[in-house]
């Protein structure tokens, strides 16, 4: 596990859960989907043309490396900009 939540001095939103590629990920209301994924060590957001996992890069909406699919709507969204909602289903493959 690489990315870790800062706990000192931080009170988060209520505990919620999303699923990413069918795996349940516990997170907190208000977190971005990207932060929730990284904190759960789901570090690859897609596979590139060489078959290598690719992570997010800019974390500010510019690079689109973190595009994921919201299963309910089929929308492709940047995980670094989208807030996680309880029960949200996310897929890393289009």
Partner 1 sequence: MAEPERFDVVIVGGGPAGQAAAIALAGHSLSIAVIDEQMRPGGQILRQPPAGFTVANWLADRSYAPLKDQLDRFGQLENVSWLGGHSAIGLQAGSIVASGPDGMRTIAADRILIAAGCQDLAVPLPGWTLPGVYAAGGIQAFTKSQQLLAGRRVLLAGTHPLQLIIAAQIVAAGGTVAAVLFAQPRAAMVRALARHPLTALGRLSDLFTARAAMATLARSGTPVRYDVSLSALTGRDRVSGATTSAGDLQCDAAGLCYGFVPQSALPRMAGARMVAAGPAGGWACVHDDWMRTSVPGLYAAGETVGVAGAAAAAAGGELAGLGIALDLGLLDTKAAHRSAQGARRQLARHRAFASLLDTAADPRAFFPTPDSGTIVCRCEDIEHGILSERVSAGDSANAVKLATRCGMGVCQGRNCEPTLLRMISAARGPNDAGFTARFPARPLAIADLLAPD
Q: Assess 28 for contact with partner 1 (CB under 8 A).
A: yes
Q: What is the largest CA-CA distance in the chain?
A: 42
- CB-nearer residue toward partner 1: 14 or 24: 14
- The backbone region for 85, taken as left when phi is positive above 0, alpha when psi lies in -120 to 50, beta otherwise, is beta
Element (H, E) at 38: helix 33-39
What is the closest distance, in whole angstroms, from the C-beta atom of residue 94 to partner 1 in the complex? 11
Residues forming a β-bridge with 70: 90
Q: Which is nearer to partner 1, 10 or 22 (CB)?
A: 10
Of 81, 85, 86, 89, the residue at the interface with partner 1 (CB under 8 A) is 81
Q: Does the footprint of partner 1 cover residue 87 (CB under 8 A)?
A: no
- Give the Å distances, CA to CA, from 64 to 5, 13, 55: 23, 26, 10
State the residues that interact with partner 1 by CB under 8 A. Answer: 2-14, 28-32, 35, 38-39, 43-45, 48-50, 52-65, 67, 74-76, 78, 80-81, 83
């Amino acid at each position: 596990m690489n990315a870790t939540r800062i706990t000192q001095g931080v009170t988060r939103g209520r505990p919620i859960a999303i699923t990413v590629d069918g795996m349940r990920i516990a997170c907190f209301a208000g977190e971005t989907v990207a932060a929730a994924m990284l904190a759960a060590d789901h570090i690859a957001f897609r596979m590139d043309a060489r078959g290598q996992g690719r992570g997010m890069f800019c974390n500010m909406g510019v690079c689109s490396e973190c595009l994921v699919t919201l299963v309910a709507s089929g929308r492709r969204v940047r995980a670094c900009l989208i807030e996680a909602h309880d029960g949200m289903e996310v897929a890393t493959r289009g």
